[in-house]
Amino acid sequence: MRSLIVDAFTQMAKEKNIDKDILASVIKDSFVKMMEKKYGLEANFEVIVNMEKGDIEIFLYKTIVEEDDVMDPAKEIDITVAKAKTGEDFEIGDDYAEEIPIEDFGRRNVINLKQNLNQKIREIEKEITFNYYKDLVGEIVVGEIYQLKPKSILLIHNGNEVIFPKNEQIGKERYKKGDTIRAIIKSVEKRQSGPPVVIASRADEQFLYKLFELEIPEIYDGIIEVKGIARFAGERAKIAVTSNDDRIDAVGACVGMKGIRIHSIVRELNNENIDVINYSEDPGVYISRALAPAKLQDIDIDNEEKTAKIYSEEDQIRLIIGKEGQNIKLASKLTGYQIDVDRLSKEEKEDEDIDDEDIDNEDIDNETDSENEATEDVKTEVENSEETDESKDEESKDKETEEVKDTDASEEVAAETKEDKE
């Protein structure tokens, strides 16, 4: 009977993936309680569980006393009785070890023992399952659909039941029994009766992050960092990334050659539109990028209240808000700012155009004045050069006159010399 008990629970432990040492401890504790119930808390006994041999040994230790001096049968034994049971010689005060067969506990106690063991093994199994999935929270698992319900789908993962609620599913997806799907473990909770409640999700932002981590090695290695994710599952998502290496373009690495990386993620999410943007520490730049492809005219930011008021032209409002308000809602969630839109009226636009024209006219006037000044400078330079040329001409004429006078004087001197000689 002892081996049957051990074999039965050993087989159960294998099925439930319970360690043999833990099972041996559970069996031992159950027998200890049963011994304390029968012989009292002060009884001296030992329970030995050998899982390898499939054997359980229970020894009750008593003290040898004189005949008719037995006061507590659970602690003392008559010397004659001890000699009769073992055939050994004992002296008063010796210890006597009596082996207790399981059958001595009675059928009812044995049944209660089995029930207690079953209960403890279930509790151990619940604790093991809880600890296992607690470590898997936020990680992707692959499960098989085995039951479809109106409000949830039940998955089987490693022999355990995982709940896939409707609000954690991607709305456009259709599921069939026997299909295998990928999802993250979103949460795990204990409950008083039954196994822990394990919740799986494909709509959570963490699922998108883990898909990026699987498809993009730079994110897994920490070269590219995901700064924020906002998502409407199955519709649209925005993810902000930054690179810790100046040589690597964060957005380009996420998109991949010809979009191969991002397309694999989009297919997994049933063609969900994903916007990948560069993160910025400047709130204005960050909000502007988050609202792309819309173009903004101006933006006022209140960092204390975490609000942003953006100004844009009429034709950009539709892009800013997006389908069913998705674009502005996702941008607000991604950046952490409450975003309000103020469209520019025609008058404001005309005023801005007039201001721009005034600025342009002032620039033109300044350029004209500069040109006039430059023209006057040129005229002055020309006049100065002409005066210089005239003075030079007069000087040259004077020099020619002097040269002529010198020539005439020379000729007169030569004539006089000739007359003197004659």
DSSP labels for 88-110?
Answer: ----TT-EEEEEPPGGGG-HHHH
In a domain, 349, yes or no: no
Q: At which residue do the structure tokens 């069996």 appear?
A: 27
Q: Are residues 212 and 337 in the same domain?
A: yes
Q: Output phi, psi for 72, to 5 deg.
A: -135, 105
Task: List the CATH number of the domain containing 38.
Answer: 3.30.1480
Regarding beta strands 273-278 and 236-243, do their DSSP bridges make them parallel or antiparallel, or are they unpaired? parallel
| Among 297, 306, 292, 293, residue whose Cα is nearest residue 342 | 297
In a domain, 350, yes or no: no
Q: Are residues 197 and 214 in the same domain?
A: no
- Tally the domains of the chain: 4
Q: What SS3 class is residue 151?
A: coil
Q: What SS3 class is residue 341?
A: strand
In a domain, 251, yes or no: yes
CA distance 269 to 263: 10
What is the value of pTM for the model shown? Answer: 0.68
Q: Are residues 371 and 339 in the same domain?
A: no
In a domain, 68, yes or no: yes
Q: Are residues 210 and 112 in the same domain?
A: no
In a domain, 357, yes or no: no
Strands (E), 268-394: 273-278, 298-302, 307-312, 338-343
pLDDT at 5: 63
pLDDT at 345: 56
Q: Are residues 144 and 181 in the same domain?
A: yes
In a domain, 70, yes or no: yes
CA distance 235 to 285: 25
In a domain, 60, yes or no: yes
Q: What are the CA-CA distances from residue 20 to residues 46, 51, 91, 121 (Å)?
A: 20, 7, 41, 12
Q: Are residues 210 and 197 in the same domain?
A: no
Q: Are residues 212 and 315 in the same domain?
A: yes
Residues 10/54, Cβ–Cβ less than 8 Å = yes
- Per-block average pLDDT, block size 10, for the chain (422 residues)? 61 69 83 84 85 79 83 84 81 85 78 81 87 94 94 93 94 91 95 89 95 94 95 94 93 92 92 94 93 88 91 87 90 93 62 49 50 46 46 47 44 43 39
| Among 280, 226, 235, residue whose Cα is nearest residue 253 | 226
Residues 199, 205, 207, 210: is their CA dihedral positive or negative?
negative
Give CA angle at 200 (224, 323), nearest 5°: 65
CA distance 422 to 416: 10
Tell me 150's DSSP state. Answer: S
CA distance 218 to 225: 8
Q: What SS3 class is residue 235?
A: coil
Q: Residue 77 forms beta bridges with which residues?
A: 64
Q: Are residues 237 and 300 in the same domain?
A: yes
In a domain, 233, yes or no: yes
pLDDT at 364: 45
Residues 320/310, Cβ–Cβ less than 8 Å = yes
pLDDT at 404: 39
What is Dmax (Cα atoms) for the chain?
A: 201
Task: List the CATH number of the domain containing 184.
Answer: 2.40.50.140
Q: Are residues 327 and 369 in the same domain?
A: no
pLDDT at 351: 52
Q: What SS3 class is residue 281?
A: coil
Count helices and strands (H / E) in the chain: 12, 15
Q: Are residues 196 and 216 in the same domain?
A: no
Q: Output phi, psi for 163, to 5 deg.
A: -90, 130
Residues 349/355, Cβ–Cβ less than 8 Å = no
Q: Are residues 144 and 117 in the same domain?
A: no
Q: H helices of 169-241, where?
A: 205-215, 217-221
pLDDT at 20: 76
Q: At which residue do the structure tokens 């020619």 appear?
A: 400
pLDDT at 350: 52
Q: At which residue do the structure tokens 């949830």 appear?
A: 152
Q: What SS3 class is residue 232?
A: strand
Domain final position from 184, 201, 218: 201
**Domain of residue 233, residue span:** 205-343
| Among 320, 327, 272, residue whose Cα is nearest residue 295 | 320
Q: Are residues 191 and 210 in the same domain?
A: no
Residues 313, 319, 322, 323: is their CA dihedral positive or negative?
positive
